[in-house]
Each structure stands twice: as structure tokens, then as C-alpha cells.
């Protein structure tokens, strides 16, 4: 599933749904932990139909980078964790009755 957004510069970004593999690739390509979001953008986004590498993201207009970061971080916050309550076992008498 992909999502298209218009960046402040007027360029069209297409963002694919990320997988754990994409995050792993971004972590391996980033030189520091602060660079991971930029590398993740490079893994998930195409701009005007072009696949960009991590260094290309660093050369984008600041407004475009911020818009892409917001979109990527929005994807991360959408993933909600719900607690699964453990079912208690019924006494054998209740099961048989």
C-alpha cells in the first residue's frame, strides 16, 4: 500500500508501507542513530518517481524533509499496542457442569 503526498516544494512523494526490513536497512546505512530517520525516508519514499538514496534526502529542501519526517513519524505513531488479557482458567467443576 502506498500513499502520495505533495511536498512543500511541489514535488510528489510516494511512500510505501514499511516493514521491519526497511528499518533494518536504514539502521545499517545510517552512520549514527540521529541519521536513521533520514535513511528510513530513503527506504520508504520515491520523489517524482525517483528512488533516492540516503545522501539525496540530506540535499532536499528543509521543508520537504520536515514534511517527510512528519509523514514517517505519523506511520510510527499509528501502530498502537493493545494488551491481551490472559484468560483465567475455570475450575474443572465449572467446565464439567
What's residue 73's pLDDT?
84
Burial (CB count <10 Å: 0-12, 13-18, 19+), residue 35: middle
Cα(75)–Cα(79) distance, rounded to whole angstroms?
Answer: 7
Quick: pLDDT tens for 83-97.
666 666 666 666 676
Contact 45, 13 (CB under 8 A): yes
Global pTM?
A: 0.74
Quick: pLDDT tens for 2-56.
899 999 999 999 999 999 999 999 999 999 999 999 999 999 999 999 999 988 9
What's residue 74's pLDDT?
74
Dig out the grid coordinates for 62 from the structure. 528543509
What's residue 28's pLDDT?
95
Q: Is the dihedral of CA 20, 26, 28, 30 positive or negative?
A: negative
Amino acid at each position: 500500500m502506498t500513499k502520495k503526498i505533495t511536498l512543500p516544494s511541489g514535488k510528489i512523494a510516494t511512500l510505501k508501507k514499511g516493514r521491519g526490513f526497511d528499518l533494518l536497512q536504514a539502521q545499517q546505512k545510517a552512520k549514527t542513530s540521529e541519521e536513521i530517520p533520514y535513511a528510513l525516508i530513503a527506504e520508504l519514499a520515491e520523489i517524482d518517481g525517483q528512488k533516492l538514496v540516503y545522501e539525496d534526502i540530506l540535499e532536499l529542501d528543509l521543508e520537504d524533509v520536515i514534511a517527510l519526517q512528519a509523514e514517517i513519524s505519523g506511520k510510527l505513531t499509528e501502530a498502537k499496542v493493545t494488551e491481551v488479557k490472559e484468560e483465567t482458567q475455570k475450575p474443572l467443576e465449572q467446565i464439567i457442569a
